[in-house]
Structure 1
Amino acid sequence: MTATAPDPAIGPLLRDWRRQRRVSQLELASRADSSARHISFVETGRARPSEDMVLRLAEHLDVPMRERNTLLLAAGYAPRFTETALDDPAMDALRGGLSQLLQGYEPYPALIVDGTYTVVAANRGMAMLMDGLPETLLAPPLNAMRITLHPEGLAPRIRNLREWRGHLLEQMERQFALNRSPALRALYDEVAGYPLPEPGSEDGEDPGMDPAGLPAPVFALPMRIEHDGQVLSFLSSIATFNTPMDVTVAELAIETLLPADPATVKYLTTHAS
């Protein structure tokens, strides 16, 4: 009879998360109203934590909701958090609210992505920026990182591509600390491998100018992208749900592109249909 490999024990998983967060056993015990001795026993397999303790430790270690289910299973408990498909009837109210949010933001671009940057929904402002992209990139499942950084996507239109690409790759790297998704890692490896123009060869690469020809004020790194001969400047903002109780909802992110100068506001307002 061949023995099957057991699921990962709760101890090593918790230890990995604690070390990743650079938290000592004593500090974690203090946060979770426990003792360093008990945390040590859990990590070494000498004690089995209660379901409540698993959830408390996961909360104080900022473990993503999907991974909290993994911790519960490893400790011998049933998953606590559901993962409801976004097209499920139970999500009707959520989908309706998100749709209203996107429409209300027009004519400015906005989109909603999941944990691997698959585009769940986008408004007409975002569709305008993607106008003219090849069908191979626009075919489902649409991926925001791939569309932005692919050499046949938006990348040739982004005037500060090297800066913006660096920002996006750093953003993905930060997610690795929270999400151990193999799909996310594969996406990162793909987009990080896209070729870049030689230094100084990007058409029109510039620090950004206001209409008077003076350097534009920078409050955050803008994305400067060309559309029909006009350079538009945007600041990116990302929002998530504060108190999700479902894995799908926890992994949704709403990205809005805020015009960074009056010229961009005027252009978008003028071109709104």
Structure 2
Amino acid sequence: MSDVGTLIRHWRRARGLSQLALSAESVVSLRHLSFIETGRASPSRAMVLKLAEVLDVPLRERNSLLLAAGFAPVYRESALDVPEMAAIRAALDAILTHQEPYPALVMDREWNIRRTNAAAARFFGFLQAGHDTAAPGPPNVLRRMFHPDGVRRYVRNWPDVSEALVRRVRREAVGGLADERAQSILREVLAYPGVPASLKSLDATVPTLPVVPIEYARDGREFDYFSTVTTLGTAQDITLQELRIECFFPANEETRRLAYALAESAAS
């Protein structure tokens, strides 16, 4: 079986499609699709891109498919701070600023935190105030939530939140280098002290609650948030497609009041 055939079969199965279903959705004959997957036929560049589009393969992995088929990659990966990204940075900053006084952050596919608004810095600074230690490495959502020196100690419903996060990582990470790195970070955090061994065997396909709130508490103050995750539409750059914008919203009036109080305290 050819490398590209193996990858196409991997993504087809990851998307829960039979050969017949993929054949129908991509308008490719079942016989030709079978030959591609088994290496008896070599797909054209257009065919690789067509199948990748139908399978909703991330741009980074579309480049891998093209390379495996003997073609040059077509999608670039740009640094977020280059001049060409000025409009994107402005859009991200507008979203983050609009979320004030509630936390919001931008993370990549490996759960590294790329940007935050002032509310996020203020809130997590409040949680970590007085501690000389923190989660290791660059800012990362998973490390921050699972490490004993992160915010874990202030999350009242940490068992529910940790379980939801593990399921989410495993559900989203279905292939490719970025997903392998996310899975590697997940294995790292599951080995932290105090993390239940049962989290290692969670089934990502089991349905979860529609929304899992995060209940923080410190110094007599309780913040109950739920979050939404937004992506950039029609992104044609790997960096942009992999960005996730997570915005936190108050689940009750008390959290709303405390968020405004933190903002007013910082302003004064």
SS at match of 1:270: helix
Letter in 1 for 2:258: Y
- Alignment correspondent of 1:206: none
Q: Any residues of structure 2 matched to 1:171-186 within 5 Å, and which?
A: 171-177=168-174, 179=176, 181-186=179-184
For residue 172 of structure 1, report the CA deviation from its aligned partner.
0.7
Residue 130 (structure 1) aligned to one of 124, 131, 137 = 124
- Alignment correspondent of 2:142: 145
More helix as a share of residues: 2
Residue 195 (structure 1) aligned to one of 193, 196, 200 = 193
Residues 1:74 and 1:135: Cα distance change in structure 2 (over 3 Å): farther
- For 2:134 and 2:58, how far apart are their aligned partners in 1? 29
Q: Can you list the C-alpha shifts for 1:225-267, whole angstroms capped at 9, x where unaligned?
A: 0143211100111111121100000100000111000010111
For residue 17 of structure 1, report the CA deviation from its aligned partner.
1.6
SS at match of 1:236: strand
Residues 1:178 and 1:44: Cα distance change in structure 2 (over 3 Å): closer
Query: Aligned residues: percent identity?
Result: 38
Q: Does the 8 Å contact 2:75/2:238 carry over to 1?
A: yes
- For 2:132 and 2:43, how far apart are their aligned partners in 1? 51
For residue 141 of structure 1, report the CA deviation from its aligned partner.
2.1
For residue 136 of structure 1, report the CA deviation from its aligned partner.
5.3
For residue 89 of structure 1, report the CA deviation from its aligned partner.
1.3
SS at match of 2:216: strand
- Alignment correspondent of 2:62: 68
Residue 21 (structure 2) aligned to one of 11, 23, 27 = 27
Letter in 2 for 1:177: V
- Alignment correspondent of 2:31: 37
Q: Does the 8 Å contact 1:129/1:227 carry over to 2?
A: no
- Alignment correspondent of 1:159: 156
Letter in 1 for 2:231: T
Residue 103 (structure 2) aligned to one of 100, 109, 112 = 109
Letter in 2 for 1:18: R
Q: Can you list the C-alpha shifts for 1:29-52, whole angstroms capped at 9, x where unaligned?
A: 110011100001111222111212
Q: Does the 8 Å contact 1:64/1:178 carry over to 2?
A: no
Q: How many residues align?
A: 247
Runs of 5+ consecutive residues of structure 1 not aligned to the other structure:
1-7, 199-217
Q: Does the 8 Å contact 1:63/1:178 carry over to 2?
A: no
For residue 194 of structure 1, report the CA deviation from its aligned partner.
2.1
Runs of 5+ consecutive residues of structure 2 not aligned to the other structure:
197-208
Letter in 2 for 1:121: R
> Are 1:14 and 2:12 an aligned pair?
no
For residue 219 of structure 1, report the CA deviation from its aligned partner.
7.0
SS at match of 2:143: helix
Residues 1:225 and 1:179: Cα distance change in structure 2 (over 3 Å): farther
Structure 2 length normalisation: TM-score? Answer: 0.86
Q: Does the 8 Å contact 1:148/1:155 carry over to 2?
A: yes
For residue 143 of structure 1, report the CA deviation from its aligned partner.
0.9
Supply the RMSD in Å over aligned alpha carbons.
2.0
- Alignment correspondent of 1:59: 53
- For 1:186 and 1:139, how far apart are their aligned partners in 2? 15
Residues 1:113 and 1:106: Cα distance change in structure 2 (over 3 Å): same
- For 1:239 and 1:264, how far apart are their aligned partners in 2? 22
- Alignment correspondent of 2:254: 263
- Alignment correspondent of 2:92: 98
Query: In terms of mean alpha carbon deviation, does 102-111 or 131-140 score higher?
Result: 131-140
For residue 137 of structure 1, report the CA deviation from its aligned partner.
3.3
SS at match of 1:19: helix
For residue 118 of structure 1, report the CA deviation from its aligned partner.
0.8
SS at match of 1:137: coil
- For 1:255 and 1:128, how far apart are their aligned partners in 2? 16
Letter in 2 for 1:221: V
SS at match of 2:134: helix
For residue 128 of structure 1, report the CA deviation from its aligned partner.
2.1
- Alignment correspondent of 1:210: none
- Alignment correspondent of 1:233: 224
For residue 109 of structure 1, report the CA deviation from its aligned partner.
0.4
